[in-house]
Amino acid sequence: MKKIFLIPIIILALSACGGSRTGTMEDSKKVESHKNEKSKDTKEEGGERIKKKFGSFIIPDGWVEAKEQSGHGKYFYVVKGHENDVRPNNISINKGHQNYNLDESEKFAESTTWQLNMQLKQSGIDAVVYGSSGTTDAGDIMYIFDIKFNDSNEIDRQYYILRDKKFVMIYMSNFDNDESVNETAKLMAKSFEWK
């Protein structure tokens, strides 16, 4: 199952807007120290508010964390019962670092668009990138990038929720263009609240 997550991980590595730092030993220790923490998730209408070290978000009923694929500060969610599928529709969430302050958010969007297009071109992937923007329910700036693969129904969508020099990325891989997957990713992004 880890193979299906390769493209999102590669895109994530490049999406931090050029020159971003890689994890340090101190970051690794922080990840390990928080690995055993129990989150206090709470039920909400139609779903559950999930709390992680960097913030919280809502996932709808019927979705669960794919714990075998989650780790190192990145959490994957799938429809319950599909945790061991070879290629399930999935949504991941993680925190990352970037080079811009909030008042430079348009530079973040331009840089990310350029990097996604370059990565697709260099990988020989036949796809198109579409971008838009919005805000979360909490009022945070959010950029949305859709990657539409021309040879399949697959749509990958990246939601970036910004703060100064950091972001949370919600990454959706929707292999069969299931609208409920799109709605789940949107709910996670719109409901996100920084800690």
**Res. 65 pLDDT band, cuts 50 70 90:** very high
pLDDT of amino acid 41: 78
Output the CA angle 9-86-172, nearest 5 degrees: 40
What DSSP character marks residue 191? Answer: T
* More confident call, 44 vs 80: 80
Report the pLDDT averaged over residues 108-130: 96
pLDDT of amino acid 10: 39
Non-local (6+) Cβ contacts of 170 within 8 A are 57, 91, 92, 93, 158, 159, 161, 185, 188, 189, 192
**Res. 116 pLDDT band, cuts 50 70 90:** very high
* More confident call, 189 vs 4: 189
**Res. 23 pLDDT band, cuts 50 70 90:** very low
Q: Are 176 and 153 in contact (CB under 8 A)?
A: yes
Q: Are 156 and 7 in contact (CB under 8 A)?
A: yes
pLDDT of amino acid 46: 75
Q: In what order do the strands lie in the sheet with 42-44?
A: 42-44, 47-52, 55-60, 193-194
Q: What is the pLDDT of residues 150-160, one digit of tens each?
A: 989 899 999 99
Report the pLDDT averaged over residues 93-120: 97
Q: Are 190 and 140 in contact (CB under 8 A)?
A: no
**Res. 45 pLDDT band, cuts 50 70 90:** confident
Question: What is residue 156's three-state secondary structure?
Answer: strand
Report the pLDDT averaged over residues 45-67: 95
pLDDT above 70 (res 56): yes
Report the pLDDT averaged over residues 52-57: 98
For 20-85, give the secondary structure using H, E and C.
CCCCCHHHHHHHHHHHCCCCCCEEECCEEEEEECCEEEEEECCEEECCCCCECCEEEEEECCCCCC
pLDDT of amino acid 39: 52
pLDDT of amino acid 24: 32
Structure tokens belonging to residue 98: 């970037």
pLDDT above 80 (res 38): no
